[in-house]
Each structure stands twice: as structure tokens, then as C-alpha cells.
Amino acid sequence: MSRFVRDEARQTTLGVFVGTFVYCLLVLPAIGTDPPSVPALAVSTGVGLALLSLGYLVYFIHHIARNIQANHIVDMITTDTELVIDQIFPRPAEAFARPAPTEAIPLSDAAVVVSFARRTRRRRSRLSEPSAPRAHP
């Protein structure tokens, strides 16, 4: 419910609808019946506000359709959860620092690593080959 109240699109749409309704209620007594008179500017403004309200209704329907999609709901839940976790368990800034890159392996040591990898690969391939049955004496 709090997300519903905090949503700016919903607040704006509700404000336009309520504003249009209140304006029309306030202008209504200005329309006279004896003698019949219609204030053209007030009625034109009311029609303009009604068209504006219609535009906000279309915007609101689009906004709601987008907000009920599963990926949007998951994103909202993720954001809220991360905020709560950060409030409960604040992390120091050093936790976000990237570690310094390690030095490259010197060429002489790289040859040792490559030869070890080749020996290991040969040993694995020999172990995976089917061996011939041995004759028992």
C-alpha cells in the first residue's frame, strides 16, 4: 500500500482528476437558468481539463500495465530488499574496492606451469584409455 501512495504517476493522475472535478463543481453555480447564461471561458476551461484528465487516464493505464509485469515487480522487490539489507548491515567502503591486479607470471615460471599442465593432461588421457586385460600368472 505504501508503494501505491508513494508512486508519483498515481498521485499526479489523482490530482488532475480531483482538480477537474472540483473546478467543474465550482463553475456549475455560475451557469444561470434565469435568464439562461453560459460563461464561455469557464465551460471551455472545464472541457480542456476533461481532455487533460482523459490523457492522464491513458498514461495511468499504461503505467499500471507496465508495473504489473513480473520483471518490474522483481526489480522493485530487489531494490527494496537491497536497501533494507544496506540499512541493517552497512558495509564499509573498503568492501567495494577492487583488489589490485596481481603481477604477471614471469616467463621462466610460465614454462613450468605449461609443462605441468601438459604432463597432467597426458596422465589424464592415459588413465581414461581402456587398458588391455592383463593375464594373471
The answer, as to whether pTM is greater than 0.85, is: no
| Per-residue pLDDT tens digits for 35-85 | 778 888 988 999 999 999 999 999 999 999 988 888 888 988 999 899 999
Identify the DSSP state of 35: T
Inside any domain, residue 112: no
Report percent pLDDT > 90 for the chain. Answer: 31
Residue among 124, 4, 106, 133 at smallest CA distance from 63: 4
Inside any domain, residue 45: yes
Task: Please tell me the total count of domains within the chain.
Answer: 1
Inside any domain, residue 135: no
Inside any domain, residue 114: no
Domain that holds residue 18: 2-96
Inside any domain, residue 107: no
**Phi/psi at 14 (5° precision):** -65, -40
DSSP string, 53-109: HHHHHHHHHHHHHHHTSHHHHHHHHHHHHHHHHHHHS---GGGGSPPPPPPPPPHHH
d(CA 44, CA 61) in angstroms, rounded, equals 26
Can you say how many angstroms the Cα of residue 124 is from the centroid of all Cα atoms in its chain?
A: 48
